[in-house]
Amino acid sequence: MEPNVLHDDPPPARMVAGALAHLACHMTTGCPRAAELAALLLERVAADADADPHLREHARELVDILERERPVRRVSASRFADTAERLARGWRP
């Protein structure tokens, strides 16, 4: 590997590792941003001509699943209200 050569795209394995980390965060916390980041990385894997065809196929499948569940994972207004109430109680002297 030449020291002066910049590599813009990480290898597919590195993108999959990042996607799995974001996916785990999303599954644990329900964080929609983590799901978006996982989908972005998986889309890059699916579009990578150098990646294994099976890996590309499964990456595309996961992107489709994440995109389908986006509207379902919205946090309800009552959950925001409960959190705001708990924070307000904590701030009282």
- Those residues whose C-beta lies under 8 Å from the C-beta of residue 72, and which sit 6 or more positions away, are none
Residue 26's domain spans which residues? 12-91
Asked if residue 28 is part of any domain, the answer here is yes
Give yes or no for a contact between 20 and 41, defined as CB atoms under 8 angstroms apart: no
pLDDT at residue 62, as a whole number:
95
pLDDT at residue 11, as a whole number:
87
Tokens of 32: 């929609």
Asked if residue 16 is part of any domain, the answer here is yes
pLDDT at residue 92, as a whole number:
45
CA–CA separation, 48 and 52 (whole Å): 9
CA–CA separation, 38 and 28 (whole Å): 14
Specify the length of the chain in residues. Answer: 93
Asked if residue 35 is part of any domain, the answer here is yes
Asked if residue 17 is part of any domain, the answer here is yes
Asked if residue 81 is part of any domain, the answer here is yes
Going by the DSSP 8-state scheme, the letter that residue 64 receives in this structure is H
CA–CA separation, 6 and 4 (whole Å): 6
Asked if residue 43 is part of any domain, the answer here is yes
pLDDT at residue 93, as a whole number:
44
Structural domain total, the chain: 1
> pTM to 2 decimals?
0.67
SS3 label, residue 40: helix
pLDDT at residue 76, as a whole number:
52
pLDDT at residue 19, as a whole number:
95
pLDDT at residue 78, as a whole number:
57
Asked if residue 3 is part of any domain, the answer here is no
Return per-residue pLDDT of the chain as tens, 93 residues.
455 544 567 888 999 999 999 999 999 999 999 999 999 999 999 999 999 999 999 999 999 999 988 755 445 555 555 665 555 555 544
